[in-house]
Amino acid sequence: MTATVERMVLGPVQANTYILTDSETNQAAVIDAGDCPKALLDALRGKDVRYILLTHGHYDHILGVPALKAAFPNSQICIHALDADCLHDTAKSLAAAAGEQERPIIPDRLLHEGDEIALGKTRLTVLHTPGHTEGGVCYVDYENRLLFSGDTLFCLTAGRTDFPGGSYEELLASLLRLRALDGDFTVYPGHNRSTTLDAERRRNRYMRRLGV
Ligand SMILES: [Zn+2]
Ligand SMILES: [Zn+2]
């Protein structure tokens, strides 16, 4: 392993925040931030925070981003181009419906399928996995066998598709892509506990339903 993963459960909907740290360089990425409490800043102390990587633009994954960016002004906020509107549109991020105050966020980098994020020798590849939102992504570390799946794939279930921009057909296609990845991965979803891709291939009702 060239990297470590820490998890915190943050924000109004108990979304997972992950801290991925390259062991050699101490460069780190924060993946989603539903809040930015002192505990998160404490966990990041001494790390070289390079990226704030968003799996998608729903408010429960981004409410902590302004404070996190303020604490680490050199970090790059990254989101898929198709979810970038969520960063200033409280209807699209669902913040308005939830009665949450969302501060506008300016992304530093818009992501597309196949983009790479580097933390020292640790590499994340962007997989565009729409369905839960139009611009949902997974971040894959092929070397360390890590899959940050956002609200696309959860332990034993999958993301909702009834929000604006959601599509059940696209979600199934995205799950099919994940299922077809080579080998096993530790899966770090946007909510609830971690799992493995092999376990989901066997037990996840959405993945099992997909054609071979
Ligand atoms: Zn979501
Ligand atoms: Zn969520």
What pLDDT shows up at residue 211?
A: 62
Asked whether residue 212 carries a pLDDT value surpassing 80, the answer given is no
pLDDT confidence band for 209 (50 / 70 / 90): confident
Q: Are 65 and 72 in contact (CB under 8 A)?
A: no
Q: Measured in angstroms, how far is the CA atom of residue 167 from the centroid of ligand 1?
A: 13
Query: Can you tell me the distance from the alpha carbon of 6 to that of 26, in angstroms, rounded to the nearest whole number?
Result: 13
Centroid of ligand 1 to alpha carbon of 151 (angstroms): 5
Rounded distance between C-alpha atoms, residue 28 and residue 211, angstroms: 38
How many angstroms separate the CA atoms of 150 and 62, rounded? 12
- The one-letter amino acid at 46: G
Rounded distance from Cα 58 to ligand 2 centre (Å)? 6
Residues in the chain: 212
Cα(24) to centroid of ligand 2, in Å?
31
Compute the distance from residue 57 Cα to the ligand 2 centre, in Å: 9
Ligand nearest to the Cα of 191, by number:
2
Determine the Cα–Cα distance for residues 141 and 138; give it in Å rounded to an integer: 10
**pLDDT per position as a tens digit, 103-159:** 999 999 999 999 999 999 999 999 999 999 999 999 999 999 999 999 999 999 999
74-106 pLDDT, tens digit per residue, is 999 999 999 999 999 999 999 999 999 999 999
CA of 34 to the centre of ligand 1 (A): 11
Distance of CA 60 from the midpoint of ligand 2 (Å): 6
Residue 87 Cα to ligand 2 middle (Å): 15
Nearest Cα neighbor of 182 from 162, 197, 204, 194 is 197
Is 64's pLDDT higher than 70? Answer: yes
Pick the closest to residue 66 from 101, 96, 92, 117 (CA basis). Answer: 101
pLDDT at 7 over 70: yes
Report CA(57)–ligand 1 centroid distance (Å). Answer: 7
From 2.60.40.10, 3.40.50.2300, 3.60.15.10, 3.40.720.10, which CATH number describes the 3-209 domain?
A: 3.60.15.10
**pTM confidence score:** 0.97
**Burial (CB count within 10 angstroms: exposed 0-12, middle 13-18, buried 19+), residue 53:** buried
User: Residue 155: how many CB atoms within 10 A of its CB?
Assistant: 17
Residue 45's CB: how many other CB atoms inside 10 A?
8
pLDDT score, position 210: 72
Q: Which ligand is nearest to the CA of 163?
A: 1
Instruction: Indicate if the pLDDT at residue 202 is higher than 70.
Output: yes
Q: What percent of the chain has pLDDT over 90?
A: 96
Q: Within 10 A of 172 (CB to CB), how many other CB atoms are there? A: 18
User: Residue 181: what residue type?
Assistant: L
Q: CA-CA distances (angstroms) from residue 91 to 63, 95, 96, 129, 150?
A: 14, 6, 5, 21, 20
